[in-house]
Amino acid sequence: MKKKLELLFFLLPVIILVAFFVYGFIGWSFYTSLTDWRIIGVKGEFVGFENYKFLFTRDRSFKSTLFNTLELSAIFIGVTMPLGLALAILLDLGIYAKKVFRIIFLLPLSFSFVASASMWFWMFSPEIGVINSFLRLLGMGNLAQPWITSSTQSLWCIAIAYVWQFSGFATLVYYSGISGVSEDIREAARIDGASKFQEYWRIVIPMQKPATLTVLVILLMYSLKVFDLVWLMTGGGPGRSSEVLSTLMYKTTFSRNFFGRGASIGIVMFVISLIIILPFFVRRRRSDYE
C-alpha cells in the first residue's frame, strides 16, 4: 500500500497537468465550438451544433479543405512508411558507408519546419528555384514546372517536403524494430532454406507491427495538424488548392474572428484522428491478448 501511495504521489502532478492542459482544453474547445463567440472579452451565446451544421452543409471551403487534408495525409503516409521500411532494411543489410547513409537520412529530423519550408520554397520557386534552374542548366528547360504556384502541383510539393522531413524518423523506428528481431529466429529460417528475401518478407517485416503502429500514429498526427509547411510554402494557395484544416482553422479564428467556428474545425480534426487511430489500437490490443 505504501508503494502505491508513493507511486501515486509522483504521478499525481503529471496527471493533473495532463488533465488540465490536454483534456481540459479539449473540453473548453468543444464548448467554444457550440457558441457563436466572435469578440474577445465578450462571451458568445450557446448555439448548439450550428457551427458544425454550417461546416458540413454550407461551407464549401471546408469540404475542399477536408479533402486536401486527407489527400495530403494519404500521400505523406503512403510514401513515408514504405520508404522508411525500405531504408531500414538497407541499413540492416549493412550497405556500404552505413554511417554516412544513416546521417544523411536522419539529418532532416534536426531541421525545424520553418527552416524546411524556407528551403523547399526556394527549391520549388518557378523562376529562381534550384530545381528549375538545374533543368535549364542541363538544357531541359521545357521540363521546368510552376511547382508551388500551380493549383495541381502545390499539394504534392508540400507532400514531398513532408516526406523528406519524416523519412528519417520512419527509418529510425523501423530499424530499431528490425534490430530487435531475435537472431535465433532468423538463423532458424536460414537453416530451413529461406532466402534473404523470404527472411525479410515472411519473418522480419511481419514482426514490425508495433513499429508500424508507432510510425502510423505519429505520421498521422503530424499530417492532420500540418501548418508550418503549408503556411510558409503556399499559404494554402493558389486559391484553396493546398488549404488544409489547420490553415483554415487559423484563418477562420484569427483572420475572420469566428472563434466558435474555428474551434469546431479543431474538434473535427480531433474526431478524425480518433476515428482513424482507435481501430489500430483496438486491433493491436486484441492481437496482444490472443
Say if 44 falls within a structural domain: no
Distance separating alpha carbons of residues 167 and 175, to the nearest angstrom: 12
Say if 197 falls within a structural domain: yes
For residue 93, the one-letter residue type is L
Boundaries of domain holding 281: 64-289
CATH number at residue 202: 1.10.3720.10
Determine the pLDDT at residue 1: 67
Q: Rounded to the nearest 5 degrees, what angle is found at the Cα of 92, between the Cα atoms of 86 and 93?
A: 90
Q: What is the 3-state secondary structure (H, E, C) of 116-134?
A: HHHHHHHHCCCCCCHHHHH
Determine the pLDDT at residue 98: 67
Distance separating alpha carbons of residues 251 and 47, to the nearest angstrom: 21
Q: Rounded to the nearest 5 degrees, what angle is found at the Cα of 260, between the Cα atoms of 53 and 240?
A: 70
Alpha-carbon radius of gyration of the chain = 23
Determine the pLDDT at residue 140: 83
Count of structural domains within the chain:
1
Say if 55 falls within a structural domain: no
Say if 8 falls within a structural domain: no
Distance separating alpha carbons of residues 97 and 190, to the nearest angstrom: 26
Q: Rounded to the nearest 5 degrees, what angle is found at the Cα of 269, between the Cα atoms of 114 and 242?
A: 50
- Which residue spans within 42-91 are E strands per DSSP? none
Nearest to 225 by CA among 164, 188, 276: 276
Block means of pLDDT (10 residues each) for the chain, 290 residues, are 75 85 87 86 83 88 90 93 90 74 77 88 88 87 87 91 90 88 81 80 85 87 86 87 91 88 90 81 64
Say if 201 falls within a structural domain: yes
Say if 33 falls within a structural domain: no
Give the predicted TM-score (pTM) of the model.
Answer: 0.84
Distance separating alpha carbons of residues 148 and 274, to the nearest angstrom: 31
Nearest to 217 by CA among 73, 87, 47: 73
Say if 49 falls within a structural domain: no
Say if 17 falls within a structural domain: no
Residues in the chain: 290
